[in-house]
Amino acid sequence: PVNADRIAEDIDALAGITEPGHPWTRRAFSPLFLEGRAYIEARMKAAGLTTRMDAAGNLIGRRAGTKPGLGTILVGSHSDTVPDGGRFDGIAGTIAALEVARSLGDRGIELDHDLEIVDFLAEEVSIFGVSCIGSRGMTGQIPEAWLTRTSGNRTLSQGIAEVGGDPSVLLAQKRPDLAGFLELHIEQGPVLEAENKDIGIVTAIAGITRIEITVEGRADHAGTTPMDRRADALVAASQLVLDIRSRAAEQAKTPGHFAATVGEFRIEPNAANVVPSKVVLLIDGRAEIRSDMEDFLAWIDGEVKTIAADFGVTINAPVRVSDNMPTPGAPVLLETLERACETVGAKHCRMASGAGHDTAWIAKVAPAAMIFVPCKEGRSHCAEEWAENDDIAMGAAVLFEAVRDMDKN
Amino acid sequence: PVNADRIAEDIDALAGITEPGHPWTRRAFSPLFLEGRAYIEARMKAAGLTTRMDAAGNLIGRRAGTKPGLGTILVGSHSDTVPDGGRFDGIAGTIAALEVARSLGDRGIELDHDLEIVDFLAEEVSIFGVSCIGSRGMTGQIPEAWLTRTSGNRTLSQGIAEVGGDPSVLLAQKRPDLAGFLELHIEQGPVLEAENKDIGIVTAIAGITRIEITVEGRADHAGTTPMDRRADALVAASQLVLDIRSRAAEQAKTPGHFAATVGEFRIEPNAANVVPSKVVLLIDGRAEIRSDMEDFLAWIDGEVKTIAADFGVTINAPVRVSDNMPTPGAPVLLETLERACETVGAKHCRMASGAGHDTAWIAKVAPAAMIFVPCKEGRSHCAEEWAENDDIAMGAAVLFEAVRDMDKN
Ligand SMILES: NC(=O)NCCC(=O)O
Ligand SMILES: NC(=O)NCCC(=O)O
């Protein structure tokens, strides 16, 4: 029911709006980002949608329904990227949503509900150091303190104003009209490709918990200090990294998505001939089932004590830098999406999202769910990120059928 | 036979010549360094020494002997410091050497040999990224390529000229007149203090071998990539760090000083939600016995293959960034020093130096040896570095006796 060529044309056009030499970079709040949005807005208008910018800087294209007051079906994703990566991350979902509206128009189908296509502002961690600004902002979930975060000489508040939002009313935003929200996204993982599925119906977006651990040893001379008289922070931190990996791998074998990664790791003084005195490491934990994360947090508290004792270093209580709960997809929408897959003949499965998404924020105020389409080798947030256009078109067709289904129920 | 108060006075005076707020910083080539040297030169002159700067920028105070042509006994150390550390490292040896000349003068003792007290230029890794410039330079061991190394807009060649050296003849320096060299230095390790000794007679300066290893994995999304489908460079590198530590600790239990430390460790992309794709680590290895280092190098070559296979990462052959042989102390001087310890009643032991020193470079062209004095808790290269003045004075007395002994033999 959708036009695959039109999807490819738009995704390719947006890929052309990138920092030269840095495919595919279109950072939120940058001139290129605004250029990309101008393209999307023009395509929304060409599809007969009424465009507007909401207070949170989300670009919205609206198609009025036949029964005013019934509520709004919202579909969309984001058009910003991480640095040096993201040809499909966000964009695939934004264009697939637009294609749903175009296909409805092509077929002269009127919905009872209002339909809105959204390009959320700054889903990725932006220059202001936080993510999902648009989806949080649309639903009044931006902490006030964030507005004064700065990047260069701009505050987030100014950044939002510059893209066309209205920070003065941002904190009071509400969307009581939302009847439901759907998002298509590339999987950003290898599962659908490996299992030869067209569509992943997302049962839950994993909770993300970030834990900072500081290992303090003693900076000694690497040449003169006997091996048995050291308090080497790097050696102790290395044991911690290995134990976290083992523990997470065990947890991952039980039902429910689970992952834990040490992605940030800084050592001091980081000098060739000095025994490392300090390592600060950040654990990124993901759990579909909250009790798995709670078990992990309890385990890590004990683990650091064991390592401190074994290696003669000091490790204070792990600091929970952030801790978000898992967000289940709305059960009624999971069924809707399953029916839609059957209708279009898509091979589908249920799976969790290990990554965070705008859907998690909209889900706090309205029924929301998302679908994944496969991406090549699970690569994402890098120049190699790739999704086949036919897979995206299949996903757009699922959205099309699901939106019609939601409209009737 | 030496004046402990005079030693304390000089060491304290030099401690006063430090970057405010950064005790005890007197970096080679800085204005403070030149200020420190002006103090030392004035004290050399006050002791009746004839001062000069050699082509390598070494400050030398000379006391002519009674038998011209017999050769020169050289004693000294360095007066530059690492950033934020080094109240005694180098300075203790420079001032102890000066005190030997002063004590000879006090007693009206004439030596047959010429005696030179030296403050070597830039023993520590300097702003030009290399160390032991003075001791290498005095003996024609500076690689030509070093002269064009830059720091800011200065070359090393310009730096040496600015402190008073002569780069135009630097590469051709030779000291065929050297009859012997002695250096006193703080131990920079915990052994003498722990074993309640006054003097360590250094059997050998350990060879220093630096090995760079690059672990390459794959940057995947930390949220979505299943634990069993990762090539996590940090996890693999952590195993390597632990195995290096275990192997070095085993080696250290056999005769001959041995240590291996991973002091530099950089991960990429170092982002919270990305599986680390790359770790570059630098091993600092020290061996008193060369075959221990050769065994270690062979072991590491095999080890990285095992880890690459076990963790699904790529590790190319370890790169030997630098590789210096151990330098034994001249046996005749070790005996001279032992006799000197007996004469002054110092509790002494033989031990290796795990740290590199100027002595290692002078030893390539003349009989050379060094003694260690205890330092507090083995701390060095930090503001807490401390040595008791009585211990330094005891060391100066040993130098005094040893120099007289060398003069007669
Ligand atoms: N979808 C996505 O990559 N979100 C970024 C936040 C995260 O999951 O790490
Ligand atoms: N003595 C000393 O600290 N030398 C620095 C070079 C080293 O041994 O790492």
Calculate mean pLDDT across residues B80-92. Answer: 93
Instruction: Return the closest-CA partner of residue B369 out of B191, B184, B193, B176.
Output: B184
Asked if residue B187 has pLDDT above 90, the reply is: yes
Q: Strand B72-78 to strand B114-120: parallel, antiparallel, or no bridges (unpaired)? A: parallel
DSSP B388: -
pTM of the model: 0.91
Is residue B122 a contact partner of residue B154, using CB atoms and an 8 Å limit?
no
- The position carrying tokens 């759990």 is A287
pLDDT computed for residue B86 by the predictor: 82
* For residue B282, pLDDT beyond 90: yes
CB contacts of B189 in chain A (<8 Å) are: 221, 224-226
- Which of B273, B274, B275 has the most ligand 1 atoms within 8 A of CB, as the residue to mutate? B273
Tokens 């403050």 belong to B119
Q: d(Cα B2, Cα B183) in Å, to the nearest integer?
A: 16
User: Is the Cβ–Cβ distance between B378 and B187 less than 8 Å?
Assistant: yes
CB contact under 8 A, A265 and B267: yes
Q: Which two tokens stand for residue B203?
A: 């059997």
Residues B340-381: pLDDT tens digits? 999 999 999 999 999 999 999 999 999 999 999 999 999 998
* Per-residue pLDDT tens over the stretch A109-144: 999 999 999 999 999 999 999 999 999 999 999 999
Alpha helices in B264-354 (DSSP H): 290-311, 331-344
pLDDT at B294 (0 to 100): 98
The chain-wide mean pLDDT, for chain B, equals 97
Q: What pLDDT score was predicted for residue A84?
A: 85
**Partner-chain residue, chosen from B229, B241, B382, that has the shortest CB–CB distance to A238:** B241
Alpha helix positions (H), A226-380 = 233-252, 290-311, 331-344, 358-362
Nearest to A378 among B225, B259, B264 (CB): B225
Q: Is the dihedral of CA A109, A112, A113, A114 positive or negative?
A: positive
Amino acid code (one letter) for B297: L
Tokens 């940090």 sit on residue = B234
Partner residue opposite A264 with nearest CB, options B221, B242, B272: B272
Name the token pair of B259: 């240590």
For residue B126, give every residue at least 6 positions away whose Cβ sits within 8 Å of its Cβ, in sequence order, or none. Answer: B27, B28, B29, B80, B133, B151
3-state secondary structure of B377: helix
Residue with tokens 């990227």: A81
The rounded Å distance from CA A23 to ligand 1 centre is 19
Residue with CA at minimum distance from ligand 1 atom 4: A356
In the predicted model, is pLDDT for residue B279 greater than 90? yes
pLDDT of residue B253: 98
Predicted pLDDT at A85: 81
DSSP letter, residue B273: T
Tell me whether residue B185 is annotated as binding.
Answer: yes
Beta bridge partners of A60: A52, A118
Q: CA B300 → CA A300, B182, B280, B307, distances in Å?
A: 31, 36, 15, 10
Q: State the Cα–Cα distance between residues B227 and A119, nearest whole angstrom.
A: 32
Q: Do B274 and A262 touch (CB under 8 A)?
A: no
- pLDDT tier for residue B409 given thresholds of 50, 70 and 90: confident
Residue B187: closest C-alpha in chain A: A224
* Share in percent of chain A as helix, strand, coil (round to 5): 40, 25, 35
Closest CA–CA distance from residue B381 to any residue of chain A (Å):
8
The β-bridge partners of A51 are A61
Q: Look at B380 and A224 and tell me if their CB atoms are within 8 Å.
A: yes
pLDDT per residue as tens digits for the range B203-214: 999 999 999 999
Quick check: B84 pLDDT over 90?
A: no
3-class DSSP string for A125-188:
CCCCCCCCHHHHHHCCCCCHHHHHCEECCEEHHHHHHHHCCCHHHHCCCCCCCEEEEEEEEECC
Residues A59, A120: Cα–Cα separation, whole Å: 7
Say yes or no for a CB contact (<8 Å) between B221 and A271: no
Protein residues with CB under 6 Å of any ligand 1 atom: A 131, 188, 355-357; B 223, 273
**Ligand minimally distant from the alpha carbon of residue A358:** 1
Residue A261 is encoded by which pair of tokens? 């990664």
- Check the annotation: does B62 bind a ligand: no
Q: Give residue ranges with CB within 6 A of ligand 2.
A: A 223, 273; B 131, 188, 355-357
Pairing between β-strand A319-323 and β-strand A178-186 as defined by DSSP bridges:
unpaired
Crossing angle of helices B31-46 and B91-106, rounded to 10°: 20
Peptide linkage before A374 cis (omega within 30 of 0): no
- In terms of C-beta density within 10 A (0-12 exposed, 13-18 middle, 19 or more buried), how is residue B228 classed? exposed
- Gap from A285 CA to chain B (nearest CA, Å): 8
Closest ligand to the CA of A352:
1
Q: Tally C-beta pairs within 8 A across A and B.
A: 187
CA of A261 to the centre of ligand 1 (A): 14
In this predicted structure, what is the pLDDT of residue A382? 87
3-state DSSP helix/strand/coil percent for chain B, to nearest 5? 40, 25, 35
CA B388 / ligand 1 centre spacing (Å): 57
How many angstroms separate the CA atoms of B356 and A28, rounded? Answer: 51
pLDDT tens digit at each of 409 positions of chain A:
999 999 999 999 999 999 999 999 999 999 999 999 999 999 999 999 999 999 999 999 999 999 999 999 999 999 999 988 889 999 999 999 999 999 999 999 999 999 999 999 999 999 999 999 999 999 999 999 999 999 999 999 999 999 999 999 999 999 999 999 999 999 999 999 999 999 999 999 999 999 999 999 999 999 999 999 999 999 999 999 999 999 999 999 999 999 999 999 999 999 899 999 999 999 999 999 999 999 999 999 999 999 999 999 999 999 999 999 999 999 999 999 999 999 999 999 999 999 999 999 999 999 999 999 999 999 998 889 999 999 999 999 999 999 999 999 8
Question: Rounded to an integer, what distance in angstroms lies between the CA atom of residue B221 and that of residue B142?
Answer: 48
